[in-house]
Amino acid sequence: MSAAPGSIPRWVDIGLIPLVNIALAFFVSGIILWTIDVDPFTAVEIILFGAFGYDEAIGYTLYYTTNFVFTGLAVAVAFHAGLFNIGGEGQAYIGGLGVGLGILLVDTTLPFVLILPLSILLAAAFGAGWAAIPAYLQAYRGSHIVITTIMFNFIASALMVYLMVNILIQPGSMSPESREFAASGQLPFMHEVFGWFGMQVTPSPLNLSVVWAAICCVLVWAFIWRTRWGYQIRTVGANETAAIYAGIDPRRVIMLAMAVSGALAGFVGINEVMGVHHRLLLNFTAGYGFTGIAVSLMGRNHPVGIVLASLLFGMLYQGGAELAFEEPKVTRELVVTIQGLVILFSGALAFMMKGPIERAYLRIAGGFQRPAGQEG
């Protein structure tokens, strides 16, 4: 399908522009590596091998990818309503708290088949409840969603420290952690799942939550583009005044979008608390909520794009760790710098190249479509 005059096709917007931004980030990263006498091409080879070269590496890459899918979807749902949810980190933290509290209460009495859906519901409820507070302040009190969600990240962190140090800590433990969950409260690792079918896979943190992440992608797509609530969310995000004329209440839409967003971020707790650590502990979110912002922007707020962007960041996390291990001149701080450059170009500078690429495409397309006899 050809683009309308003065516009660009969708593949340029959702495909070419993000790839150019990634290429720019890697180009700048390559210059940094070259200045410290590290071959950029060798570094890329190490990163790719460290992320996909063997089964353990693939497990770690997909484990990171799972968290980024949850937080990327969370940012995307809010963004479709015209809301910039910066609070994914705190919502994931509180979602994990809900998962941990539920499992600690019932893991010795209920079987796994009941604990799993209960944990999913608790992660969603706690994450949505935490996001509903700044949503209410935005919808009914006029507070700015960016400010309140940032503030609630710090409140969530302080609340978790208090609970872990004073209430939920395992008796006699010097580390602020809860007791380990019983076997019925632990999500199986994927290498264990493969073992059930006679397949031997090197152990990694990858667990069954990756399946739930895939399901969430389908559910979010259906919710945003195939339901009345999704239509209302997109309408408010596109033009709030027109939405009001259409009979849509923006306040209810804000509450709905932020609740769904917080629930998705809360699912990080399923992966981390129930799937990997098997206990409540501090700082299990590890910045996934903030990286989810760049994931959503790079993925153009669509589940397919978010999966691809999440895979990229999963590769950077795992492959970057391999690079820091293999190259003595590459420190962990430099790896974080490379990751930060990708976030910078894909997030804050996501539309920096949009204008030049659009103009270049329209100029090239205009040249191809010029009628015969009008050359020169």
Per-residue DSSP letter, 183? G
Taking the model in full, what pTM does it have? 0.90
Q: 202-215 pLDDT, tens per residue?
A: 999 999 999 999 99
Neighbour tally for 17: CB within 10 Å: 22
- pLDDT confidence of residue 376: 43
Q: Which neighbouring-strand residues pair with 189? A: 207
- pLDDT given at position 313: 92
Q: How many CB atoms lie within 10 A of CB 211?
A: 12
For every residue of 100-164, which 3-state class applies, written as one string? HHHHHHHCCCCCHHHHHHHHHHHHHHHHHHHHHHHHHHHHHHCCCHHHHHHHHHHHHHHHHHHHH
Among residues 75, 83, 64, the alpha carbon closest in space to that of 300 is found at: 75
Stretch 141-158: mean pLDDT, rounded? 95
- pLDDT beyond 60 at 243: yes
Q: Are 91 and 148 in contact (CB under 8 A)?
A: no
Position 147 pLDDT exceeds 60: yes
Q: How far apart (Å, rounded) are the C-alpha atoms in residues 152 and 39? A: 43
Q: Is the pLDDT of residue 367 over 80?
A: no
Rounded Cα gap, residues 302 and 37, in angstroms:
39
Region label for 2, one of left (φ > 0), alpha (ψ between -120 and 50) or beta (otherwise): beta
Q: Which amino acid is at 347?
A: G
- What is the Cα–Cα distance from 21 to 265, expressed in whole angstroms? 26
Least confident of 46-50, 70-74, 102-106: 46-50
371: confidence class by pLDDT, cuts 50, 70, 90? low
Find residue 281's DSSP bridge partners: 177
User: Is the per-residue pLDDT at 3 higher than 50?
Assistant: no
pLDDT of residue 138 exceeding 90: yes
Mean pLDDT calculated for residue range 149-159: 96
Question: What is the pLDDT confidence band of residue 368, given thresholds at 50, 70 and 90?
Answer: low
d(CA 43, CA 179): 41
Q: What is the pLDDT of residue 350?
A: 62
In the prediction, which pLDDT does 339 show?
Answer: 81
